[in-house]
Structure formats: C-alpha cells, structure tokens
Amino acid sequence: MSELPPLSNETIWAILKEEIDDAAVNRLVWLYLGYRCDAETGKWDSANVSDEWRLEYPEPPDFIDSRPATVKLTRSILPENKQLLKEKLGFQGYKIGEFGPRQTRRATAANWLMGFMEVES
C-alpha cells in the first residue's frame, strides 16, 4: 500500500479535483474511522472503530462504490460541519453535467474528512 497524504486542506482539494485516486480516498476515511490492516496477514482490525461502524461494517466499506456506506458517512457528519467544504475551502460544488455518483461520493468523503479535522483541532 502506498503512503497516504497528510490530512490537510490541500489533500481535501486533491480529493475534490480527483488528483488522489479512489483507493487512497477510501484508505484515508478508513484510517480516521479507526480501521487498520495487518500488513502481514492482510486482515482488517476494527478494534478502534466505533460500534456504530464496526457492527455494520466489520471490514471497511468502499465508500466510492457503495451508496449505503456513503449515506451512513453523510449522516455521521455533524450538522454544524455539513457546509465545511464551502465555508472553509470555498468549494462551490460541481457543475451540472460534470459530475456523477462517484464525484458526489468523493465530495462526501472529503466533507467527512474536513469534519474530522474540525473536531480534532
């Protein structure tokens, strides 16, 4: 597995601009949800994942491919953090006709990561 970029505004922009691949976006969210992969066995350890996630997803879900997982991720963003992409980064969203479910799910992951950064700061 390649090294992940640091969690920063630059990384969030890179997610939105699709400069970071889907696999890395997933891995970033998994990391901050608490999922860890044992490099030797390839098995997932969810001991540090909240029950809310671990019970439904004992192994990390693919947020780019799974609408239910992305809906759960959206619902887990605190209401006061739902507009962070716009408020902190000035992100105005994607233009109609230039995005699909994949870009929407990447934006959800970016927003969740921004919310994580906000809570942790």
C-alpha span between 77 and 108 (Å, rounded) = 9
Structure tokens at 68: 């239910």
Class in CATH terms, 9-120: mainly alpha
- The CA–CA distances, whole Å, from 3 to 24, 31, 57, 74, 113 equal 9, 12, 24, 26, 17
The domain spans of the chain are 9-120
C-alpha span between 91 and 56 (Å, rounded) = 31
7-62 pLDDT per residue, tens: 999 999 999 999 999 999 999 999 999 999 988 898 999 999 999 999 999 999 99
Percent of the chain with pLDDT over 70: 98
- The CA–CA distances, whole Å, from 95 to 25, 100, 104, 118 equal 21, 10, 11, 26
The rounded mean pLDDT for the chain is: 92
80-119 pLDDT per residue, tens: 999 999 999 998 887 777 778 889 999 999 999 999 999 8
The span from the first CA to the last CA of the chain, in angstroms, equals: 28
C-alpha span between 82 and 8 (Å, rounded) = 17
Are the C-beta atoms of residues 89 and 9 closer than 8 Å to each other?
A: yes
